[in-house]
Amino acid sequence: MAKLKTERGTDKAVSARGYHHGNLRRALLEAALELAQQHGPERVSVREAARQIGVSPAAPFRHFPNRRALMTALAEEAGERLRIEVRKSMGGRERSPLQRLRLLGRGYLQWAMRHPSHFKIVSARDQIDLEGSIALRASIGEVRALTEQMLTEAQQQGQVDAAHRVPALALLSRATVYGLARMHQDGHLGQWGVAAGEEAVAMTDTLDLLIALMRRGPAV
């Protein structure tokens, strides 16, 4: 079983401390992400991001009038990274629908492990304006649509029992990968018999079990 990559340092933001009248919005986002990585999303504020890059507390407010706007912008970037990750992970049409669904799930888990701060931010729905963000809803909607598309094709090809509703199967799929990613990030997997250092293997095996339970007929 191939292990998921666990590159926790890959979403480290470029330090914005050298900002001098450049792209203020970009610099603020990088500073905010760095704060989230160091102290958790709950410690992010517009004022502190401004302090990190050395501008006045009033300077950011034409870009981000409040903390919620700043967090929503970070969540939009997180959603776009997730969309790209799962698209890349699925491969071409030469694979069966269930194979691509499995790869989609692996892509989600890999994204969550590579970018833990982004995972936390996009999961903190009480801190972002999901309804007001067209970009974020589009990213989330595309991942859901891909999941449902793979399941629909799997039913059409006889790989998955057509008696099961696709929306319910899609929700089960999302709940599995999201739950695994959240348990890993919150340190809960050890309480369920997963040894330290084996988290990626355990999550992959659990995803494979879900696919096997869905499957009907020959192995994919």
Chunked mean pLDDT (size 10), the chain, 220 residues: 42 42 86 92 92 90 94 95 92 87 96 93 93 96 96 96 95 97 96 96 96 74
Which burial class, exposed, middle or buried, applies to 148 when counting CB atoms under 10 A from its CB (0-12, 13-18, 19+)?
Answer: middle
Asked if the 11-65 domain carries CATH number 1.10.10, the reply is yes
Find, among 177, 165, 173, 201, the residue nearest to 98 by Cα. Answer: 173
CA distance 21 to 82: 31
Q: Where in the chain is the domain with CATH 1.10.10?
A: 11-65
The model carries a pTM of 0.83
pLDDT value of residue 22: 65
- Nearest-5° angle of CA 29, CA 4, CA 31? 10
Say how many residues make up the chain.
220
* Whole-number Cα distances in Å, 130 to 21, 101, 122, 142: 30, 26, 9, 15
Phi-psi region of 99 (alpha: psi -120 to 50; beta: other; left: phi over 0): alpha
pLDDT value of residue 120: 93
The one-letter code for the residue type at 13 is A
Find, among 43, 10, 203, 199, the residue nearest to 121 by Cα. Answer: 43
Instruction: Look up the CATH architecture of domain 67-220.
Output: Orthogonal Bundle (1.10)
CA distance 219 to 211: 10
